[in-house]
Amino acid sequence: MNNVRKMALMVLISGASTELGCSTDGPVDIGSRQMIGSQLTDYAATWDGYAEAFNFWPDGSDRVRLVVDGSGHGTLEIGDAAPIPPATDPNVGYPPGGYSTFSPVNVGASGRLAPVVEGFRYPLHGVAIDADRIHLGVDPADLYTGWCPLQTSYPADAAQGFYSCLPIVSGTTLTPGLSANGTCALMLPDQPPQAEDCLKLDICFNGSACACSSSGCVANTVPAGAPLSQYAVQLDGALDSAGATLTATLLLPERVTVVLHRK
């Protein structure tokens, strides 16, 4: 190799090493940077938005509202109905005017019903961040925390430890559909039909909203500390690069995409 080529090669190597190894800006700690959405506090806000191609019953609204604080407490609310009043009457189902499988006249036009209802702010459960996404659960039974304790507990099968919020015993049947006065009938063995509010009959006979024992009834909520998979309604979402929009999947159990904006 002649001297000219040697000198050119040395200059090239020297220049490259200077460019790669030297900087006037100091060291850059790339590992210290955190992605938006990697911390729970990134989601702490009031969010308001909509469900894509899905309308909630009965008002047909697609609105979804989420409130989360830095500790993971908050609420989820769907639809745009007025707040549901507290439960006061043990003789009628809850919420007032709610859907009953025995009164199909109350079914929404679309027939698409979610296990959560409009007008109630459901507490959030199991809020956690994983892979820069927020995950949380909602328990539909939280709606009944005020209604179930109003109920009388009846020993449906005391030997097996089974109690109900209606006097249901072996051989009990019911008449689906509405009667002339808007009630349904509970048919106890060897007794005349017993008129019951259709929604209450639905909750106590077919549903599992209340957990009753010899000491009374309480809402049949998911135990504290249960894994997220135990919740019938779940939300899983991520923030955009500005942290202003939260796009998530809401499991109802039908999967619905929701788009929420920070207020």
Task: Kindly report, residue by residue over 80-137, the tens digit of the pLDDT.
Answer: 999 999 999 999 999 987 776 655 444 344 445 678 999 999 999 999 999 999 999 9
pLDDT tens, position by position, 248-262: 999 998 899 999 999
pLDDT band of residue 189 (cuts 50, 70, 90) is: confident
Q: Read off the pLDDT of residues 55-88 as tens digits, 9 standing for 90 and up.
A: 887 788 999 999 999 999 999 999 999 999 999 9
Mean pLDDT of 6-21: 38
Weakest-pLDDT range from 17-21, 148-152, 213-217, 228-232: 17-21
Q: What is the pLDDT of residue 149?
A: 98
* Whole-number pLDDT of residue 179: 53
pLDDT value at residue 11: 35
257 located within any domain: yes
The pLDDT assigned to 201 comes to 85
35 has a pLDDT exceeding 90: no
H/E stretch holding 234: strand 233-239
Residue with tokens 């938005």: 49
pLDDT of the residue at 19: 41
CA distances in angstroms from 202 to 27, 30, 56, 155, 208, listed in the order given: 67, 58, 21, 18, 10
Burial call 162-179: b when 16+ CB within 10 Å, e when fewer: ebbbbbbeeebebeeebe
Q: What is the pLDDT of residue 39?
A: 96
Per-residue confidence band for 228, with pLDDT thresholds at 50, 70 and 90: very high
CA torsion sign for 103, 104, 110, 113 is positive
58, part of any domain: yes
Establish if 234 belongs to a structural domain. Answer: yes
| Residue with the two structure tokens 């790669």 | 20
Share of the chain above pLDDT 70, in %: 75
Position 126 in a domain: yes
Give strand pairing partners of 26.
none
Write out the DSSP string of 84-127: PPPP--TTS-SSTT---TT-GGGS-TT----SS-TT--EEEEEE
Question: pLDDT tens for residues 42-58?
Answer: 999 999 999 999 988 77
**In this structure, is residue 74 part of a structural domain?**
yes
Residue-number span of the structural domain to which 134 is assigned: 39-81+118-145+226-263
The first and second tokens of residue 98, run together, are 């709610």
Show the tokens assigned to 108: 């929404």
| 249 occurs within a structural domain | yes
Residue 69 maps to a domain:
yes
Residues belonging to the chain = 263
Confidence of residue 14 (pLDDT cuts 50, 70, 90): very low
Q: How many domains would you assign to the chain?
A: 1
Cα separation of 197 and 4, whole Å?
A: 102
- Tokens representing residue 123 in the block: 């507490």
The CATH code of the domain that includes 247 is 2.40.128.620
pLDDT at 158 (0 to 100)? 58
Look at strands 63-68 and 173-175 and give their pairing.
unpaired
| Better-predicted residue by pLDDT, 201 or 75 | 75
Q: What per-residue confidence (pLDDT) applies to 121? A: 97
Judge whether residue 32 has pLDDT over 60: no
Count CB neighbours of 78 within 10 A.
29
pTM confidence score = 0.80
Q: Assess if residue 86 is contained within a domain.
A: no
